[in-house]
Amino acid sequence: MTQAQRTILIVVVAVSCIGCDQAAKTIAQQTLPANESVNLLGDVFHLQYSENYGAMLGIGSDLPPEIRFWLFIVCAGCALTAILAFVLTNGKLNIGGIFSLSLILGGGLSNLIDRVLRGGVVVDFMVVVLGSVRTAIFNLADLAILAGLLAFLLSSIPLLSRSARVTR
């Protein structure tokens, strides 16, 4: 894959994630009733507007605003910059690795955009309930990050097995 193709793939995936997530958050913010849940698919899928000051599962939401700024905006921005540099420059990444890291980048950037534009808050609006199991409230950016992590692990398996064969 040429550098131009790599860059186009990264941009298309990341911008698609950001656009879809930001559009969904705007629709959720404008249409979901406050403090109510809209249940769909036989109560499996719930739409519920929420503002999250912390990380996943609200971790860190009780921290002082200055610490949240450094952790969730500055450190997250640095981590996303490192991911972008890695995916742009690592010639050993296969297309699956590039795609999966682009999903992580897009989801992370979308949540970072929320934090910067909404005073440190990330908009969440989805919950899945399967029997007695209920997920934390999340958004499309969180799904992109999770899908990217899983895809990266799966795309790395052939690399791991190939490198294990080489070292024997």
- For residue 93, what is the DSSP state? -
Marked catalytic residue, from 21, 62, 114, 142: 142
- Token representation of residue 138: 């999340």
Q: Does 124 qualify as catalytic in the annotation?
A: yes
| Whether 142 is catalytic | yes
What does the alpha-carbon distance between residue 14 and residue 98 come to, in Å, rounded to a whole number?
11
Closest CA to 123 of 72, 68, 53: 53
Distance (Å, rounded) from C-alpha 29 to C-alpha 24?
A: 9
Pick the catalytic residue from 43, 62, 114, 124: 124
Task: Please state the length of the chain.
Answer: 168
The strand pairing partners of 47, in sequence order, are 38, 126
Select from 83, 114, 117 the least CA-distant residue to 13: 83
CA distances from 60 to 83, 137, 167 (A): 23, 15, 42
User: What are the residue numbers of the active site?
Assistant: 124, 142
